[in-house]
Structure 1
Amino acid sequence: MKTREQERSSEVYTVLTDRFGEDSAKWHCDTGAEKYLGTLKKTTARIYISGLGQAIAFVCARHDAQSTERQAVNELSDLVLVMMGLPGPARSKGETPSGALLEVIREGELETMMRATDEALAAITWLTRYLEGAGVKSDDAPEADQGGEGQ
């Protein structure tokens, strides 16, 4: 029997291997990996500031459907739905996972929104662990100090 963390870890790893390939040593070579990780990190801050629904809506409003940022939020939303045992809404209505999660948050009870938030933050933690462990650097990471060079 797996613990919740083991289930999350397994689901997250499956999402990342589907997205970036089986060889995690090559994930840092993917051109979208930095944006993907940066979006996840920014989404964490937005969740704490405004809540999960607003954080998802913000990314969806700012980026087109094919962007790396939007794909990161859709994959995060799908993970949350799966971990909550609600994978059906996105597939049955033909809407995006982020749209389905927003619907669940809007229509659900307070406990549902709180659980979705907890699952999202836990999934982001695992996503960033795996990506950073594979050598991916966030697109918003500060540059290394050059010891006064170039100033």
Structure 2
Amino acid sequence: ALAANHTISIGSSGLNIAPNVTHAVPGDLLIFRFFPGHHNVASGPFGTPCQSSATGGGIFSGWVDASDKEQGAAQIFVVEVNDTEPLWLYCSTPHHCSNGQVAVVNPPSDRSQTLEQYLGAARSTDQSSQPDGIIGGAL
């Protein structure tokens, strides 16, 4: 089978990640497009929304200040999918995650962990964290 490209917009209409649920298989590419504003995309554990993984791994785009208002000029961060495990995503800019800028790639099929639960927990989080540099993809 051929790999698929999944375009995911970061901040295209406010504090959002769209789509906020993506299903991907190994070999697929996640293409994160950044829109005006000070955004990034990071991943972390379901149990601690808005926080990067303490054990390393995951993804982080680094800080992206897309200043061009034209969608076609938005910067991109590309990540190759290695497995079908859930990847919980958020923007670590202060207050972005807690205001709903979250998403998931490959949510659990048994609905044991949902985006709605992740978002609910994120809304009660005061701070976000991120790795020190770009990991898991290319800007």
Query: What TM-score do you get using the length of structure 1 for normalisation?
Result: 0.28
The structure whose residues are more often strand, as a share, is 2
Query: What TM-score do you get using the length of structure 2 for normalisation?
Result: 0.29
Q: Who wins on radius of gyration, i.e. which is larger?
A: 1
The structure whose residues are more often helix, as a share, is 1
